[in-house]
Amino acid sequence: MRKKIVAGNWKMNMDYAEGISLFSEIVNMVRDEQKGDQVAVICAPYIHLNSLAKLGGNTVKIGAQNCHQNESGAYTGEISAKMVKSVGAEYVIVGHSERRQYYAESDALLLEKTNIVLKNNLIPIFCIGETLDERNNGSYFDIIKSQLTNGLFSLSEDDFSKVIVAYEPVWAIGTGLTASSAQAQEVHAFIRQQIQAQYGEAVAQNTSILYGGSCNPKNAEELFSQQDIDGGLIGGASLKSRDFTDLVKTFNS
């Protein structure tokens, strides 16, 4: 059975004190209200990871939002996967559309990052998704296929089996525009088919595929009830303890 996962992405928000306060609220609320075996993750700025990993225990897991593709060295200002692992984080977001767009991260670079994340026994949350133009001109299946092929499909079966995929249509991120449950399900089913063609049915059925893009407690129930949607990658709503907890709880209903 594949895991149901709600992962928050705080992006570049929350100073140290604000982050501790918000995360403490999230842990208390999730601990009281989580009933199933769904996994809750917060991907926080690097400065928070060490403290949050201690506070989260088994209730809320911790992830980074990025890491460098190399093991170590003269890369001023960068953080390695080994460093992320050493403070107790378990996940790393790879290839968020903001990094693809603002830092020109290519599929080839993202494959390197995914490899180093896996090598350090961290779980990559690998983001893919089309822009509004690509949706409107009908090329979105080709875009998704090439992001999967170039970013992930040269991994061994064993490595790929550890990856979480997040489908995040760029036009829905932070815009208030959500993909309809039918639009999201259509792409999630396509992603699962591509994984099946590459790695076989068992791997495809065990891969968690998250939806991201203006997901909130109001629209999550319908999205998360789709056959191929196994949870969400949540930006804005992860900055509110009530909303994030309600998203985790959505799997109980």
Q: What track of x and - describes contact with ligand PEP for positions 213 through 242 (by CB under 6 A)? A: xxx-----------------xxxxx-----
The active-site residue, picked from 48, 96, 134, 188, is: 96
In terms of Cα–Cα distance, which of 197, 202, 12 is closest to 93?
12
Identify which of residues 45 and 235 has a Cβ nearer to ligand PEP in the complex.
235
- Amino acid identity at 172: A
Q: Is 188 considered catalytic here?
A: no
Rounded to an integer, what is the distance from CA 205 to the centroid of its chain?
18
State in angstroms the smallest separation of the CB of 7 from ligand PEP.
9
Contact 180, 222 (CB under 8 A): no
State in angstroms the smallest separation of the CB of 134 from ligand PEP.
17
Question: Which helix (H) or strand (E) is 232 found in, with range?
Answer: strand 231-234
Per CB under 6 A, the segment of 50-58, 64-72, 110-118, 206-214 that binds ligand PEP is 206-214
Report the SS3 class of residue 229.
coil
Euclidean distance between CA atoms 208 and 111, whole angstroms: 19
Identify which of residues 168 and 228 has a Cβ nearer to ligand PEP in the complex.
168
Identify which of residues 204 and 212 has a Cβ nearer to ligand PEP in the complex.
212
Contact 206, 161 (CB under 8 A): yes
Rounded to an integer, what is the distance from CA 85 to the centroid of its chain?
17
93 phi/psi in degrees, rounded to 5: -75, 130
- Amino acid identity at 185: Q
State in angstroms the smallest separation of the CB of 188 from ligand PEP.
15
In terms of Cα–Cα distance, which of 206, 169, 167, 214 is closest to 188?
167
State in angstroms the smallest separation of the CB of 244 from ligand PEP.
11
Q: Does 45 bind ligand PEP (CB under 6 A)?
A: no
State in angstroms the smallest separation of the CB of 236 from ligand PEP.
4
Euclidean distance between CA atoms 141 and 102, whole angstroms: 23
Identify which of residues 41 and 215 has a Cβ nearer to ligand PEP in the complex.
215
Identify which of residues 48 and 199 has a Cβ nearer to ligand PEP in the complex.
48
- Amino acid identity at 89: A
- Stretch 139-178 residues interacting with ligand PEP (CB under 6 A): 168, 173-174
Q: Is 96 considered catalytic here?
A: yes
Residues that bind ligand PEP (CB under 6 A): 9, 168, 173-174, 212-215, 233-237
Active-site residue list: 96, 168
